[in-house]
């Protein structure tokens, strides 16, 4: 009986072993920069972030702000309201504190959604992967193969970000880097642009509105599409409720 299936077992385990080795080699090639650009340790430790310059009157009030491309004002983690943090994690990466850059359960959920044609299954991209994409933007005009390679590179960068920064630092970088459009880069400028408030003064509904824009800042822009933005806001609030 054993001899009958011996050939099958040898072939099965050989294919499995080759597959596992192939995956390790593939990710090693990506990590070593053999399949395209991979940021160095120094580039990960010192990402290129542009902030607006501010000029003040001698007696205190701000005179003007100057920026070349990105109207961004830095905000520290302690200044970000908990409602913004909760909304972002509940909506974009509910297991943010439980993974190291790649959410394996999320990937299985995406695979199940593809197999069952369930478009509401959600994505598998973590906050760290989204930050990797923002810090090192994708090249334009990528073909399908290059896009797949780029996605895997973002996985590797996300894992490296998780090793280099704390979870709080990653959230701070994300919320300082995201482009909310209308010359509002980062949560501090966005709060002022859309609600004429400092982040600490945002209501839960306003925080959910801004986080809702992270899915698509153009499509869910409250200045252009108020009703659509409100619907997305309600989705974020519902995700917060589900996440407790």
What 3-11 contacts at long range (C-beta under 8 Å, 24+ apart), as own/partner pairs, is none
* pLDDT at 26 (0 to 100): 79
Residue 46's pLDDT band, with cuts at 50, 70 and 90, is low
Tell me how crowded residue 237 is: count the other CB atoms within 10 A of its CB. Answer: 20
Residue 76's pLDDT band, with cuts at 50, 70 and 90, is very high
Mean pLDDT for the chain overall: 83
Per the model's pLDDT, the better-predicted residue between 54 and 186 turns out to be 186
* pLDDT at 52 (0 to 100): 52
* pLDDT at 175 (0 to 100): 96
Structure tokens belonging to residue 104: 């394996």
Q: Are 233 and 227 in contact (CB under 8 A)?
A: no
Structure tokens belonging to residue 182: 């209308």
Which residues have a Cβ under 8 Å from the Cβ of 215 and sit 6 or more positions away? 91, 232
* pTM to 2 decimal places: 0.79
Q: Are 187 and 207 in contact (CB under 8 A)?
A: no
Lowest mean pLDDT among 56-65, 128-137, 160-169, 170-179: 56-65
């Amino acid at each position: 009986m054993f001899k009958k299936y011996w050939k099958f077992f040898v072939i099965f385990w050989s294919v499995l072993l080759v597959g596992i080795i192939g995956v390790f080699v593939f990710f090693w090639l990506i990590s070593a920069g053999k399949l395209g650009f991979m940021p160095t340790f120094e580039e990960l430790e010192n990402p290129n972030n542009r902030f607006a310059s501010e000029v003040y009157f001698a007696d205190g009030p701000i005179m003007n702000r100057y920026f070349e491309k990105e109207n961004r004002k830095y905000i520290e983690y302690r200044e970000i309201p908990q409602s913004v943090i909760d909304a972002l994690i509940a909506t974009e990466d509910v297991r943010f504190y439980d993974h190291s850059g790649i959410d394996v359960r999320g990937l299985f959920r995406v695979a199940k959604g593809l197999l069952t044609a369930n478009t509401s299954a959600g994505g598998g991209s973590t906050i760290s992967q989204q930050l990797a994409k923002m810090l090192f933007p994708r090249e334009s005009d990528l073909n399908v193969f290059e896009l797949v390679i780029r996605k895997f590179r973002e996985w590797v960068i996300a894992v490296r970000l998780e090793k280099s920064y704390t979870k709080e630092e990653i959230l701070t970088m994300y919320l300082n880097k995201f482009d909310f459009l209308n010359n509002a880069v980062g949560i501090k400028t966005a709060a002022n642009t859309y609600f004429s408030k400092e982040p600490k003064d945002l209501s839960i509904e306003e925080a959910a509105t801004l986080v809702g824009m992270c899915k698509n800042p153009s499509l869910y822009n409250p200045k252009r599409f108020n009703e659509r933005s409100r619907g997305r806001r309600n989705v974020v609030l519902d995700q917060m409720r589900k996440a407790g």
